[in-house]
Structure 1
Amino acid sequence: MKPSEQTVRTFMKDRFATENGAVIEEVDDHYAKCSLKIEDRHRNAMGAVMGGVYFTLADFALAVASNWQEMGSVSLNSEIAYLTAAKGDKLTAEAVCIKNGRTTGYYKIDVRDEMGNLAAAVTATTFRVSK
């Protein structure tokens, strides 16, 4: 479902991600889909999308998926595999909760390019600092 105005306002405070172009497209129960329009500033010296862009978008999707209903979850650990150079002008990250425990969660985040290619795969563990 589309994010509420309140959700969008809340996550605009994630300034590094949002000032680099990350936007929320969808949210649901422990799920988020976020995207980013690729610009020249996102490219490295070889002309490819900088690895930090993939990770920033994935981390933003994780933050939204794990916090949009109730703030208090932080990333405890993340691992990223860069699988292919992005094609097109847009990246999309989908964060899905695999395990939502009492204090920790485990998420899988797929980052796809505009053609639908899996460009990066991320797994992340979250920790709930407040309940």
Structure 2
Amino acid sequence: MEEKTLAQVQEMFENDRFATLNGARITEIGDHYARCEMELDDRHKNALGAVMGGASFTLADFTFAVASNWQKPGTVSLSTNITYLGGAKGSRLIAEAHMVKDGRTTCYYRVDVTDDLGTQVAAVTITGYHK
């Protein structure tokens, strides 16, 4: 299998419109791993002025998609569980997806979402299906 560069992976996922139009960008890739970031602005805030949970969920889901597909496309999410741990205090969300198990038809990933100040924002687990 030919290794892809970060630029090639970024190009591969540029049509993931919902995530990318909301500011998600891929900053690092590794073996069944991805790190993505999202600069926060007013579009990410709820009526109370806090970062909306959907921003964290979108970034976590996108990061899982990158980590589980950049080497071998065809994995989709079957189930996602997100636990919100605290409000983002910084100006950027950071998500890191790590593969825990990769089976013949399913996989399991852990995604940690923090902000640029180190605040733990969300803990996410995702079960994927290899199509």
TM bracket, shorter-chain basis: over 0.9
1:66 match: 68
Deviations 1:68-90 (A, max 9, x none): 01110000000000110001100
Provide the secondary structure at the position in 1 that maps to 2:90: coil
Q: Which ranges of 4 or more aligned residues in structure 1 deviate by more than 3 Å?
A: none
Whether 1:35 aligns to 2:32 is: no
Superposed CA RMSD: 1.1
Whether 1:84 aligns to 2:86 is: yes
2:102 match: 100
Deviations 1:46-85 (A, max 9, x none): 0000110000000000000000011100000000001100
Q: Structure 2-normalised TM-score?
A: 0.95
Provide the secondary structure at the position in 2 that maps to 1:6: helix
Gaps in structure 2 of 5+ consecutive residues = none
Q: Structure 1-normalised TM-score?
A: 0.95
State the percentage of identical aligned residues. 56
Offset, 1:3: 4.8
Gaps in structure 1 of 5+ consecutive residues = none
Q: 2:49 aligns with which of 47, 50, 64?
A: 47
The count of aligned residue pairs is: 128
Offset, 1:4: 2.5
